[in-house]
Amino acid sequence: MMLKTTSEIDIVKANSSKINEVDFENLTFGNVFTDHMLVCDFKEGKWEKPVIKPYEPFLIDPSAKVFHYGQAIFEGMKAYKDENDDVWLFRPDENLDRFNKSAVRMAMPEIPEEIFIGGLKTIVDMERSWVRKGLGNTLYIRPFMIAVGSGVIAQPSSQYRFMIILSPARSYYSGEVKVIIAEHYSRAANGGIGAAKAAGNYSAQFYPQKLAQEKGFQQIIWTDDATHTKLEEAGTMNVFFRFNDTIYTAPTSERILDGVTRKSLIAIAKRDGIKVEERSVLVSELIAGAKDGSLKEIFGAGTAAVVSPIVGFQYQEDYYELPKIENSLAIQLKDKLTKVQYKLAEDTFGWTVKV
């Protein structure tokens, strides 16, 4: 995969590393960050020269538009280390494409490929010692952009800051995942920003998720905003349903995020002869399948969690436990995908990019 990069990056190295202070065996997801961060500002209609500098807080005006009007987008990616100590990215072109689609939807400037990809490869290369070998060990990558222009008038900012921060990570979810199907709250609506990785999409989920957790559920399966009959996403993940030997997942739309893990699992499944259909699954179908035994699996898919099997769901007052099966397609697909990411299996799609 040929991607544009740039050597036009200023680098200020940290005086010392904090890596020896980190317990890599007991990481809390997203709480520990590496020694450096990338910063690139957009001013007067153009992107300035990126700089990689020590990870640190920075000053921002209290009237910055990110605080008042929510212009903020992000991506989630990972770097992997193989058995030869080489470091790999997974489909970074897809993250760049989605990042810029989010930027357009939020009236923010698109980021050039040479800054996004070039900056990404440079900072990951600098922090490669933070990427540990072994399945489950990754370096989580968070590119994001915020509106830093000052003023509380309700209009898009004229100044923005693009950044990349890195966090060593292990598994995102642990233990069994039970979900409740949303009947009132919605993740997104037609014409809205559901297909963008906008910060506000996630903060709007926190309250209904809190209510679900108080009832003993880890996540919510969101339904469509108009009828609450179509199953759409699971928490912060795309969601898949297996009925008999066919996997179903909702098609991408204005409401549903075009997940990189989602499309990768679909491609692997189709390559290996597993039946996949991209169509809306109804709540009524799910309940009928749980009752007659045709519903075999539900699983979420996303960068952080990779694949997260769901053991049961509740709708209204009824809880449905899923069968425990040995030939889990969710586990099979996760194994095939992670082996590609860690270079333990052939990358037949050309998805991996060496740092």
The pLDDT tens digits for 301-313 are 999 888 999 999 9
Same domain, 199 and 329: yes
Instruction: Provide mean pLDDT across the span 150-156.
Output: 96
Same domain, 156 and 126: yes
- Beta-carbon contacts of 15 under 8 Å, excluding residues fewer than 6 positions away, are 54
Same domain, 157 and 16: yes
* pLDDT of amino acid 354: 97
Same domain, 166 and 280: no
Helix (H) or strand (E) holding 269: helix 260-271
Same domain, 237 and 300: yes
What is the 8-class DSSP label of residue 316? T
Domain hosting 73: range is: 10-170
Identify whether the C-beta of residue 262 lies closer than 8 Å to the C-beta of residue 249.
Answer: yes
CA-nearest of 31, 29, 33, 39 to 18 is 33
**CATH assignment at residue 163:** 3.30.470.10
Same domain, 292 and 210: yes
Q: Is residue 352 part of a domain?
A: no
pLDDT at 87 over 80: yes
Q: Which two structure tokens, joined as six digits, stand for 29? A: 């997801």
Identify whether the C-beta of residue 258 lies closer than 8 Å to the C-beta of residue 195.
Answer: yes
Q: Is residue 199 part of a domain?
A: yes
Same domain, 200 and 324: yes
pTM of the model: 0.94
Model confidence at 2, pLDDT cuts 50, 70, 90, reads low
Model confidence at 30, pLDDT cuts 50, 70, 90, reads confident
Instruction: Provide mean pLDDT across the span 305-331.
Output: 93
Q: What is the mean pLDDT of the chain?
A: 94
Same domain, 158 and 182: no
Same domain, 164 and 250: no
Last residue of a domain, one of 137, 170, 203: 170
pLDDT at 172 over 70: no
Q: Is residue 229 part of a domain?
A: yes
Overall domain count for the chain? 2
* pLDDT of amino acid 47: 97
Same domain, 159 and 227: no
Q: Is residue 43 part of a domain?
A: yes
**CATH assignment at residue 216:** 3.20.10.10
- Helix, strand, or coil here: 238? strand
Same domain, 287 and 202: yes
pLDDT digits (tens, 9 = 90+) for 104-122: 999 999 999 999 999 999 9
Minimum mean pLDDT range among 2-11, 133-142, 242-251: 2-11
Percentage of the chain modeled with pLDDT above 70: 97
DSSP of 321-353: EPP--SS-HHHHHHHHHHHHHTTSS--TT--EE
- Helix, strand, or coil here: 222? strand
